[in-house]
Structure 1
Amino acid sequence: MSKFFDAHTHAQFAAYDEDRDFVIKRALAAGVGMVNVGTTRMTSEAAVGLAHRYSGICFATIGVHPSHASVSEYVDPDEMASGGEERLEIELYKKLAADPAVVAIGECGLDFFRVTGEAVREKQKALFGEHVAFAHDVKKPLMIHCRQAFPELTAILQSRRSELLNPAGIVHFFTGTEAEAEELLNLGFYFTFGGVITFVRDYDRVIKTIPMERILSETDAPYVTPVPHRGRRNEPAYVTEVVKKLAELKNVSIEEMAAQILKNAERVFGINFSSL
């Protein structure tokens, strides 16, 4: 049984093509279970495949990242994408969602970081709306990505409140305000925090205000490596450093924090760790 949990990672990404099995085995040795998060059709299918290969250790989410809502000049070599526009192909994703290894829909949401025009914003909003409807349809929680777009994101969620499950899902790598956290808590969301909390203090206050019962740990690997591994490619085994920092900020033991995160993962993802 896992002792730690990485609720948002990408071990299926191209960044691990040379040593993926070793990365998973290091996580296993550290007692880490994980959710590999889809960002495109290809990475969603790969996440499901990895969950089958490492049953009980790896789980999957499926969906289209907002940065793929339109054609982009930026292509991430660590991912597995062309920079082309992607759609939420409902029939294909329905088949994937029927797999018990799929525990959430996403990562979906809004990302206005590199967006220069209103047309792209509107495409992202439309795609996010499709994910909300689809998640309701297949009875899976949402895995939300939001960057520089919290007012727009919460407006969409409030307008579609009746379609949200309970729990509604996760807002990953939360960077919003205390007021935004409160609004999302009231909508039924949980929050993940990652490696950035080990080297900046920007999120200390909001972490202290969110109940432990609504917090999970993540790495978002291969990105945002925590201290003391800065300068290296991130990986799921490093989530233990995030849990240590969360425990410090919540003024509890590492064991208590890790156990609460597992309980939270069971609740939001519907995973029964005791049966694995």
Structure 2
Amino acid sequence: MFVDSHCHLDRLEWDKLKLELPEVLENARRAGVQHMLCVSVSLQEFAAMAELVAPYPMVSVSCGEHPLHQTDALDPELLLSLCQQQKVVAVGETGLDYFYAPDSKATQQEAFVQHLQVGCQLRKPVIIHTRDASTDTLALMRSEQAYQAGGVLHCFTESWGMAKAAMDMGFYISISGIMTFKNAVELREVVKKLPLDALLIETDSPYLAPVPHRGKTNQPAYVADVAAAIAELKGISIEQLAQQTTANFYRLFGGIQPQNS
């Protein structure tokens, strides 16, 4: 059984999918997906996201604000209040993105620190987005003692050096469908080196559909294709890959109870 450790069910493109949420979740179940983590990108949209998935025990939620969804400074008191809710199993996603938003570095850094502080205070893992910002991401993780919260670098596309530095702080590395793309040669070399006990898998749906679904709206069912690609690359069975990444997921997100297969 698989787990999709990072998806955005509230952002699925229903018109393109021509499906409703129950059908998306049934597709996932049929593909062997046991659980999904629906990840927040906006504090203002959190309540609606949480309400959407509340009827489904196979979906958990995080709470945070994506660096590309910040229009102004983060409200740290609101973040703390929302993340204290029992249903919230992780803080984020948060992080730094200098590729798309280099002009807002200071605002991003301040919000990232606030997320890390909430994670450490509540002892809830932090979901980190990082792009073209590896030095600052790692520096802030160290200065804020992010190991106290733990967490994951999601949709990882950075270097082996960054992956190793994050793992040395107790963080997991999550791999998405990007690793199946033809031009992801360097990323595949990183994936080969990643130890199984630090690995998670994800779709980041509705974005980044893996081969053979390129061009389609991504959905949690496709995490099975990500798993198959990683297993082939690492020369192990898909069953071993599924078992280890699922165990890793429940170890990291301790607030989630494993579902019956």
Partner amino acid, structure 2, of 1:106: G
Q: 1:234 to 1:186 in 2, by over 3 A?
A: same
Corresponding residue for residue 208 of structure 1: 192
CA deviation vs aligned residue, 1:224-254 (integer Å, no higher than 9, x gap):
1111111211111110000001111221111
Alignment of 1:40-55 (within 5 A): 40-55=42-57
Q: 1:262 to 1:14 in 2, by over 3 A?
A: closer
Instruction: Give, in whole Å, the separation in 1 of the partners of 2:260 and 2:22.
Output: 24
Q: CA offset at residue 274 of structure 1?
A: 5.3
Correspondent of 2:129 among 123, 130, 145: 145
SS in 2 for 1:273: coil
Counterpart contact for 1:45–1:62, Cα < 8 Å: no
SS in 1 for 2:152: strand
Counterpart contact for 1:213–1:260, Cα < 8 Å: yes
Instruction: Give, in whole Å, the separation in 2 of the partners of 1:252 and 1:14.
Output: 32
Corresponding residue for residue 4 of structure 2: 6
Corresponding residue for residue 29 of structure 1: 30
Measured on the aligned residues, the alpha-carbon RMSD in Å equals 1.9
Counterpart contact for 1:221–1:234, Cα < 8 Å: yes
Instruction: Give yes or no for the alignment of 1:257 onto 2:255.
Output: no
Partner amino acid, structure 1, of 2:108: Q
Instruction: Give, in whole Å, the separation in 2 of the partners of 1:95 and 1:116.
Output: 29
Corresponding residue for residue 39 of structure 1: 41
Instruction: Give, in whole Å, the separation in 2 of the partners of 1:256 and 1:211.
Output: 13
SS in 2 for 1:145: strand
Instruction: Give yes or no for the alignment of 1:194 onto 2:159.
Output: no
Instruction: Give, in whole Å, the separation in 1 of the partners of 2:108 and 2:135.
Output: 14
Instruction: Give, in whole Å, the separation in 2 of the partners of 1:106 and 1:232.
Output: 26
Alignment of 1:10-21 (within 5 A): 10-13=8-11, 15-16=13-14, 19-21=20-22
Q: 1:116 to 1:177 in 2, by over 3 A?
A: closer
Correspondent of 1:108 among 94, 110, 121: 94
Corresponding residue for residue 151 of structure 2: 169
Q: 1:241 to 1:249 in 2, by over 3 A?
A: same
Correspondent of 1:98 among 84, 104, 117: 84
What's the TM-score, normalizing by structure 2?
A: 0.90
Corresponding residue for residue 257 of structure 2: 272
Q: 1:42 to 1:26 in 2, by over 3 A?
A: farther
Corresponding residue for residue 67 of structure 1: 68
Counterpart contact for 1:212–1:250, Cα < 8 Å: no
Instruction: Give, in whole Å, the separation in 2 of the partners of 1:239 and 1:8.
Output: 10
Q: CA offset at residue 97 of structure 1?
A: 2.4
Alignment of 1:224-235 (within 5 A): 224-235=208-219
Counterpart contact for 1:108–1:144, Cα < 8 Å: yes
Instruction: Give, in whole Å, the separation in 1 of the partners of 2:49 and 2:5.
Output: 13
Q: CA offset at residue 69 of structure 1?
A: 2.8
Instruction: Give, in whole Å, the separation in 1 of the partners of 2:60 and 2:178.
Output: 23
Counterpart contact for 2:176–2:226, Cα < 8 Å: yes
Q: CA offset at residue 203 of structure 1?
A: 1.1
Partner amino acid, structure 1, of 2:37: V
SS in 2 for 1:109: strand
Structure 1 residue runs without a partner (length 5+): 71-84
Identity %: 34
Counterpart contact for 1:12–1:43, Cα < 8 Å: no
Instruction: Give, in whole Å, the separation in 1 of the partners of 2:11 and 2:53.
Output: 14
Q: 1:244 to 1:155 in 2, by over 3 A?
A: same
SS in 2 for 1:104: strand
